[in-house]
Amino acid sequence: PDGTKAGSVTSLGEGARWYDGQCDLNKMFVCEDRCPDSTITGHPGKCGCDTLDVDLNGDFIIDCYANVWFFYNNEVTWEQARLDCLNRGQIFADIENSFENSMVQMVVAQALGGS
C-alpha cells in the first residue's frame, strides 16, 4: 500500500506506470531479496551483494538486480504476496528510485516473455 488511500496498493500498469489498486484483488507480484550485509543498492555502478554491476549473460538486466528482484506469476492478494515473500526469506518489493523501477520492469517483462 502506498499510504494515500485506505485499502489500496500500487500495481504496474500500461506504459510502465504505477497505479493504485485494491489490496484484495489477486495479482502477480515481485519480491525483493536485499543483502543484509550490504548497504549499497539502487545506484548505477554500485551493486553490493558481492555481485558485479554488469550484464554478463546479455539479458539486459544488470546481474546484481537479477539476484535482487524476483517475479512470481501466481496471482494472490497483497497480504498473501507479502507473506509469500517473507516465507521465501524476501520482502515485498520496495522500489526506491527510477533506476530500480527500470530494473523491476525488465525483470517482469522478461518473466512474461517480453523484452
Helices (H) and strands (E) in the chain, counts: 3, 5
Q: Where are the domains of the chain?
A: 8-111
Asked if residue 26 has pLDDT above 80, the reply is yes
The predicted-structure confidence for 2-20, as pLDDT tens digits, reads as follows 455 544 456 566 665 666 7
Q: What is the pTM of this model?
A: 0.67
* pLDDT at site 1: 47
Could you read off the pLDDT of 44-97 as tens digits, one per residue?
445 555 566 667 777 776 666 666 788 999 999 989 999 999 998 888 888 877
18 phi, psi to nearest 5 deg: -100, 140
Output 99 or 85, whichever has higher pLDDT: 85
Cα angle: 18, vertex 20, 25; to 5 degrees: 110
